[in-house]
Amino acid sequence: MWEWVFALVHLVLFLGLLSYAIASLLRGRWLSGLVLLAFMVAYYFIVLHQAVLKEINRKKKKKNARSGK
């Protein structure tokens, strides 16, 4: 269950920061908006990307095992 809580907290924080970055861009604060978006992209690739790829592969294997391939 801890993994779900961890993932949910990160998702909420990620979406909140994304909305804040977009709001900054819309208000004309380009530098802060772009810096936030750059850090979010870096965070995704450093922390989340490998876990996302593992989950996609796990679901593909599970689907293939169910279909009998």
Which pLDDT value is given to residue 46? 86
14 contacts: CB under 8 Å, gap ≥ 6? 40, 43
In the structure encoding, which two tokens stand for residue 2, read together? 């801890």
* CA–CA gap between residue 13 and residue 32 (Å, rounded): 17
On the 0-12 / 13-18 / 19+ scale of CB atoms within 10 A, 40 is: middle
- Give the pLDDT of residue 69: 57
pLDDT at 68 over 70: no
Q: What is the residue type of 61?
A: K
Predicted structure pTM score: 0.63
Q: How far apart are CA 21 and CA 60, in angstroms?
A: 33
- What per-residue confidence (pLDDT) applies to 23? 95
CA distance 20 to 12: 12
pLDDT in tens, 5-60: 888 888 898 899 999 999 999 999 999 999 999 998 898 888 777 888 888 888 88
